[in-house]
Amino acid sequence: MKAVFIVYGQILSDSVQEVLDKEGIRGFTRWNEIFGRGTNSGEPHYGSHAWPSKNAGVITIVEDDKVEKLLTHLRQLNERAEQQGLNAYIWNVENSMISI
């Protein structure tokens, strides 16, 4: 299993949800307000007067065979809205108390 942490410009929330739904990924946790900036060229997302935009994030645990298809859809979404910013980070999951 893999943990997939997706961070994106808040405006993409509905689109990210559509990707999860399309891939049949039901279980996730979402944070609606995350503040930060990209490492290279990303503009700050601070929710402030000067930098009003915000990020959001989702973490989901998926079977290994679902990861590549999920990442493909997320790449496509990022290409359509590159200025908003979208990144996904993957970790191995060693154990789970429940089955997926």
Domains and CATH numbers, the chain: 2-92 (3.30.70.120)
How many Cβ atoms from other residues are within 10 Å of residue 20's Cβ? Answer: 21
Average pLDDT over residues 42-53: 87
Average pLDDT over residues 25-50: 88
More confident residue, 81 or 21: 21
What residue type is assigned to position 75 of the chain?
Answer: R
Cβ(99)–Cβ(27) under 8 Å? no
- What pLDDT is recorded for position 99? 65
The yes-or-no verdict on residue 38 having pLDDT over 90 is no
Tens of pLDDT, residues 74-83: 999 999 887 7
- pTM score, whole prediction: 0.88
- What pLDDT is recorded for position 100? 59
